[in-house]
Structure 1
């Protein structure tokens, strides 16, 4: 049976596995795998990395190959001679690339660069909500693009409530939004759109495994990409134009001003929302204290289960046309305005100190 896949009709950008889950549940039998099976799992993970990871050809260069090969050899020797589990060794090896999408279960996370977690707050649990902050400013807190909580229906409800409120200003707070799919934030994009924008397209590494993965997705335009991949000798094949237009037929008169609040946990599709709005909405200003996480240059992960342990490897298939000169993974996306406040004590479904500060900034501009 073929898979079905949802597409953003405006952009055609795919995000299969973009919310980052680093939780790990132990699987029965992991501790009894033989040394030979351990080595086989490690070697399988290395083959997937080198053969299919879209970032491998540009990350392992003449300048970096010795460093990579030394790390690979050390990790393999530890699996072979010291009893290190292959998924732990693969976690370290994968983390060398600095790509949050590329991971061996939850075992890459300890080796990745550190990003803000906000553990110092009394409670950090951004939760969906929409409400008036004042008579002039409305808040929508949108903490996930996964589509289950909040749902697409909730997104539309939040927009309807805003339009009925009569408020001139709108704050969309996406703190904690680790990603999901573009489709769910498109209604916000349409609401805030006020000029034609452009975002970077993607290209896929042309490998037999990726051809097989794409062939299972029932989309005519994607099947055209598959046919191109089959015929091409190029290592990378375009899935979209290099620059993709964002254009709508309608410009909504409200909000007069909009704010998007970000933090260091905004990642993947959450970051795509930031880039889209920055491109197509002149009335939207990005506020935050920290840059976003930096997890968008490589995406569209193919999941591969290790045969003995069952742990899943996530191998990004596509790369952004931002690369190599305008990547965001090493830095994240900076806000337009830095919020000059300490972290709020609590972030749930409340109106916190940052929201009140941004509200005051917006209302300074009301005539």
Structure 2
């Protein structure tokens, strides 16, 4: 994929610098994205050359920076549906509307009756970390008396795995197996790891990044460095914490990334059943890092790690199938209508909407 362009002056137009950024992306992904070569080999050179030609031809129609972002965003879907994004280089501040939306998406606990509790987990973002801990602590006495749990992760686009750790002792009844991931080692990826803390207010960000960089030492560029010193597979015994007797987990095609990691863990527990639809299928390539494109106006966020499940157990493009498939009724605009059906079922009744 080699393309040459001559620009008339040093001051590039919107079209010219958009084209410059678009040209750079396939080369960067093939060299630095943890799934770049896998996806390229699977779909083929001709597919990607044709896709790049097509999107380059459309650059002539754009008239604004936003239209350029939209065009590049469309091109990125040629590579992967998610865990691959384009955005402005400058950090965007939250608007009032965004803050309100965050408040609406806090974790929640509702007791449906003395035997059934509803736990809504709309995302695993950092702002939910302490909130979820407090919810579990404040409701501890009643939770201990409630044997049936409904956990709702519909629409949960992910976040950080550590956010859901506090709820695991309440649910998982037996040993679980976890498979780690590996970092793709390149000079660009090392630089990207260092940049991730620039806009991160987490107190331990620098320490985490240093651990990543240490794991890359001695590994040749282009190879993968394991995130753990072991074989990449760990066996975790259940805690001694009291467990829910029966757990129903509601999933859909918007459960993605760390939400899917959560589901992979819960499905191993004997007392858990998942209900709903397949998850999004965005888990194989993760840990996004920024790369500034040549124009200086845009950043490409791409994956720097690959799951050690591959190639034997892919999740991307397939998702995780539920134990019980439930076609969501469009008439059920209120998400709690389905929750009521599941509450009836978990106590021995029917899932049928007629019941």
Task: Give the deviation of 1:183 after TM superposition.
Answer: 0.8
* Structure 2 equivalent of residue 354 of structure 1: 338
| 1:242-253 correspondence to structure 2 within 5 Å | 243-245=232-234, 247-248=236-237, 250-253=239-242
Task: Note the residue ranges of structure 1 that are not aligned, 5 or more in a row.
Answer: 1-31, 107-124
Task: Give the deviation of 1:214 after TM superposition.
Answer: 3.5
Quote the Cα distance in structure 1 between the aligned partners of 2:158 and 2:39.
Answer: 24
* Structure 2 equivalent of residue 237 of structure 1: 225
Task: Note the residue ranges of structure 2 that are not aligned, 5 or more in a row.
Answer: 1-11, 89-103, 196-205, 350-355
- 2:311 corresponds to 1:327: no
Deviations 1:80-120 (A, max 9, x none): x55586544432332112331112249xxxxxxxxxxxxxx
Match of 2:215 among 193, 205, 225: 225
**Which structure exhibits the higher relative contact order, with contacts defined as CA atoms closer than 8 Å and separated by 6 or more residues?**
1
Quote the Cα distance in structure 2 between the aligned partners of 1:82 and 1:140.
Answer: 48
CA distance 1:41–1:221, shift in 2 (3 Å): closer
- 2:269 corresponds to 1:285: no
Quote the Cα distance in structure 2 between the aligned partners of 1:168 and 1:63.
Answer: 48
Task: Give the deviation of 1:226 after TM superposition.
Answer: 2.4
* Structure 2 equivalent of residue 255 of structure 1: 244
Task: Give the deviation of 1:329 after TM superposition.
Answer: 1.4
Task: Give the deviation of 1:209 after TM superposition.
Answer: 1.0
CA distance 1:34–1:182, shift in 2 (3 Å): closer
* Structure 2 equivalent of residue 270 of structure 1: 259
Quote the Cα distance in structure 2 between the aligned partners of 1:233 and 1:362.
Answer: 52
Deviations 1:284-305 (A, max 9, x none): 11111x2111111110111224
Query: Could you tell me whether the CA contact under 8 Å between 2:105 and 2:123 is conserved in 1?
Result: no
- 2:114 corresponds to 1:140: no
| Counterpart secondary structure, 1:69 | helix
Q: How many residues align?
A: 306
Deviations 1:181-214 (A, max 9, x none): 0111001112212222112211122211112233
Query: TM-score, length-normalised on structure 1?
Result: 0.74
CA RMSD of aligned residues (A): 2.8
| 1:58-97 correspondence to structure 2 within 5 Å | 58-61=38-41, 64-79=44-59, 86-97=68-79
- 2:83 corresponds to 1:101: yes
Quote the Cα distance in structure 1 between the aligned partners of 2:175 and 2:138.
Answer: 24
Quote the Cα distance in structure 2 between the aligned partners of 1:265 and 1:126.
Answer: 14
